[in-house]
Amino acid sequence: MEAAELVEIFQWLTPEQSARVMTDPETAHRVRDEVADVLAYLLQFCEVLGVDPLSALEAKIERNELRFPVPGEPED
């Protein structure tokens, strides 16, 4: 539910409007509140399941780098 509330703020905005969303104090406050809610639930979820969120993120980035190499960069 919390993630949906965050996405809802941006749902009908163009990329340009999304980039400027934090310039409106009321909307910026909503964004910060929803980000905090999502993060709190995610960290609680990770704690219950025994998932280290930073390790999970690092592993995902590494897998994505292998799956989607940057064009023109030499492979290891």
Residue 75: the pLDDT is 64
Query: What type of residue is 57?
Result: L
Q: Is 73 helix (H, G, I), strand (E, B) or coil?
A: coil
pLDDT higher than threshold 80 for residue 63: yes
Give, in order, the Cα–Cα distances in Å from 34 to each of 6, 11, 12, 50, 76.
5, 14, 17, 24, 39
Residue 71: the pLDDT is 87
End-to-end CA distance of the chain: 41
Residue 60: the pLDDT is 97
Is the pTM higher than 0.85? The answer reads: no
Residue 1: the pLDDT is 84
pLDDT by residue (tens digit) across 3-54? Answer: 999 999 999 999 999 999 999 999 999 999 999 999 999 999 999 999 999 9
Residue 52, Cα to own-chain centre: how many angstroms? 16
